[in-house]
Chains A and B, each alone.
Chain A
Amino acid sequence: MASHPQNPVRTGPVGGHPRRPAAPAHVRRQSRFGLSIVLPALILFVALLLVPFLRSLGFAFFESTLFSPEPKFVGLENFRDLFSDRVFLETWLRTLFYVGITTGVTVVLGFAWALVLNQAFTGRKVIRTATILPWILPSTVTAFLWAWIFNGQFGLLNAVLDAAGAIGAPVVWLSTPTGAMFAVILAKVWLSTPVAMSFLLAGLQSVSSEEIDAAMMDGCRAGNIIRHVILPHIFPTLVIVFVLQAMANFQQIDTILAMTRGGPARTTTVLSIEVYQKAFNEWDMGHASAIGVVWFLTLAVPTVVYLRAIFKRF
């Protein structure tokens, strides 16, 4: 059969993909406009974040200390040092523990508090505003506040426990591994819960009240309403909040530095403190960068995989 004379003639290579038809002019204009809006932010991102990040990534493959005249390429030696160092592996596991507990408690408390503040009651606005206060306070101020609360000699906690007859002698909380870890987790949870609450409260306000009313009329208990009505609705928000909190907790340094400096005896030393220590106390940029790479991968890989899976579902 002869080809139809009015059929468009294929101009691309035989067997190749057909050339994509040119976008209409208004689409191209839109693209250019979009690019022009994004470009300044993109330039800043590249200059201020991407280039320094790649540069520090590169340092991970060099021996670079304050005393070496020029950085010396050592391949994967810095990583080999890290993974053969029991102390570093303990720090890595401790970081996962700190991030897991802090993030979990923050999200649960934030969600519970958001449920409370989503109800109509007198004084709700005042409490909502007051709840935000820990978020507004500078984190170092918060850290010193908690350090004072947990102080072994002059601390509020000891004073309260002593007055209640719960302790016979002052407890030096920040000098015990458990007490110090509990204190830094509590301080961070106190700082972060308002943020988590705000996100989740916004998510809760998008849940249809008709659905909740219908479930209640059907005799559904509060726990079941949360489980079967509210949670499925706000699940994407919950995931985002969890991921954002985990990222923030991975990067957390100021409260720990101000409260314990990673002590006692390294028991609150997490990766952020370790990088700080290597980079700005020992001036060992090679190892500090290698820890930074491990730190980044620990956070980035599960986050990307998890977020992709979640957003495919929704």
Chain B
Amino acid sequence: MKRLKKLTLGACIAALCAGAAMAQDARFVGWSYSEASSKPFIENEAAKVDGVDVELIGFPWNQMVQNLILRHRSGQTTEVAQVQDRWMPMLVGMGALADLNDTLGADALADTVEPGLLAMGQSNGGQYGVPWTAASIALVGNRELMEAAGVTELPATMEDFHAALKKIKAADPEAVPFGLSTTNPNLIQVESQVFFWQFGARFFRDGAVAVDSAEAREALAFLVQLVDEGLVAKGNDRNATRALYGQGKVGFYFDPPVARGIARNLSGEGEAFDENVVVMPTPTTGNGEPPRSVVWAHFLTSLTAGSPDTEAAGKVIEHFAMKPDVQLRYWNELGLFPTTKAALAELSDDAYVANWIELARDALPDEPAAFENSAQLTQIIGEEIEAALLGIKSVDEAITDMADRLEGAL
């Protein structure tokens, strides 16, 4: 009897130990968990990750990067972290992110994830983030407004674009033909840089300031001309523009793929408004630069600090970012684009998704994001462009001052 008791006790202890060994823990830090719209989805999916107890930690988007850096510096273990594309270079540079090729396998990643999107999370041969949702910030047009103005084809060149804007203004003087942000330096920088690229200008080349160029002046002069002609409204930012777009009062504006979902809500027409929402290539200038847009992606990463359970991290990332059914649920519930080949294939009939993914192939990463003090650089660029757009400075003064200030900040 005694022996039997001992055996039973031993079996119980062994079972407990085995259970403890099987249940892995992972901390998943992200801003989406702090947002009411995506919180239920993340909670549901986190509960489904095989053999891992996922502790969810949410921070608002605008506090996320600071909290990630603080967690890294203070050695707090973070198996999985949601990271915006523009923070990636800085976090990789700090050595804060683990190479996920070691955890998930380069071949498995390449087999599963759309190659162009997967490449966004690579740096120096390492895979530091797996795209959870990705596309780009690109031009969105309003088909109904264009047709009403007699714009029958999407403008392919800057001349066509200029002409289309004039037609829209002539057809509806109260409309904002182009809803470029002219207030809020952060938005101004992100949106205007697409035009700088299209004209062949860059803010930085090889880590040095390169904005003091004829191409940059040409790009800024073009945008200033649009403002002066009333084709771009002063005092607008993307939020105000989205509201006007939903009311059919904006011809074109820049947005990530959430544009269609927002337009559904703000138009009050729901999915019936979808046919108006058209994503389009940025008009070109004939200098060989393909239609550019700005990389926009949410990555799942793993921080190196503390003692992360890399296997648990891999399981969580695999569940959220590599399983097509989970990705399609994310798309259905929140309208965020999937990143796996299989999930994208399921959506190939949706022109909105297909066009956007096609455009994203020529998207470039946000330029200041490559630097540690990207917030400062973004602010400087945005302020100087804003000064030119509002007529506070001439184009030449704005570009010269921008170059001087960027030199001082690097």
Contacts and interface: CB of A to CB of B under 8 A. Distances in A.
Contacts of B408: 85
A281 B375 contact: yes
B234 A283 contact: no
B73 A69 contact: yes
Given A175-B182, A175-B235, A282-B379, A265 B392 contact: yes
A265 B383 contact: yes
A169 B172 CA distance: 15
Q: Which of B184, B372, B375, B405 has the most CB atoms of chain A within a 10 A radius of its CB?
A: B375
Contact of A277 (B90, B373, B379, B387): B379
Contacts of A270: none
Main secondary structure of the interface of A (DSSP, over half): loop
B410 to A, nearest CB: 13
Interface string B349-385: 0000000000000000000000011011001000110
Interface in A87-114: 87
13 contacts: A66-B66, A67-B372, A152-B233, A174-B183, A174-B235, A175-B234, A175-B235, A175-B390, A176-B390, A263-B183, A263-B383, A265-B393, A282-B376
Contact of A175 (B66, B73, B183): B183
Contact of A263 (B185, B375, B376): B185
Contacts of B158: none
B392 A283 contact: no
Interface of A: 65-67, 69, 85, 87, 151-153, 172, 174-177, 261, 263-267, 277, 281-284
Contacts of B383: 263, 265-266
A261 B187 CA distance: 13
Q: Which of A261, A263, A266, A282 has the most CB atoms of chain B within a 10 A radius of its CB?
A: A263
A263 B234 contact: no
B170 interface: no
B376 A284 contact: yes
A235 B53 CA distance: 70
B183 A264 contact: yes
B184 A267 contact: no
A46 to B, nearest CB: 28
Given A264-B183, A265-B383, A66 B69 contact: yes
B47 interface: no
Contact of A283 (B182, B184, B375): B375
Given A85-B408, A174-B235, A265 B387 contact: yes
A175 B393 CA distance: 13
A265 B387 CA distance: 5
B392 A177 contact: yes
Nearest to A176: B390
Contacts of B386: 263-265
Contacts of A87: 405
Contacts, number: 63
Given A281-B379, A284-B376, 6 more contacts: A65-B373, A152-B233, A153-B240, A172-B234, A264-B386, A277-B379
B390 A264 contact: yes
Interface string B180-201: 0011110000000000000000
Interface of B: 66, 69-70, 73, 90, 94, 182-185, 233-235, 240, 372-373, 375-376, 379, 383-384, 386-387, 390, 392-393, 405, 408
A81 to B, nearest CB: 8
A88 to B, nearest CB: 11
B379 to A, nearest CB: 7
A66 B90 CA distance: 11
A66 B183 CA distance: 27
Nearest to A84: B408
Given A66-B66, A67-B69, A263-B185, A152 B234 contact: yes
Nearest to A70: B73
A231 to B, nearest CB: 41
B248 to A, nearest CB: 15
A233 B346 CA distance: 83
A196 B386 CA distance: 37
A85 B407 CA distance: 12
> Shortest 7 CB-CB distances between A and B: which pairs?
A265-B387, A172-B235, A175-B235, A172-B234, A175-B234, A265-B386, A152-B235
A223 to B, nearest CB: 42
Contacts of B240: 153
B94 A67 contact: yes
B89 to A, nearest CB: 12
B81 to A, nearest CB: 16
A165 B128 CA distance: 61
Contacts of A263: 183-185, 383, 386
Contacts of B379: 277, 281-282
A152 B244 CA distance: 14
Given A67-B94, A265-B390, A282 B234 contact: no
Contacts of A177: 392
Given A66-B66, A174-B235, A282 B373 contact: yes
Contacts of A67: 69, 90, 94, 372
Contact of A282 (B94, B182, B375): B375
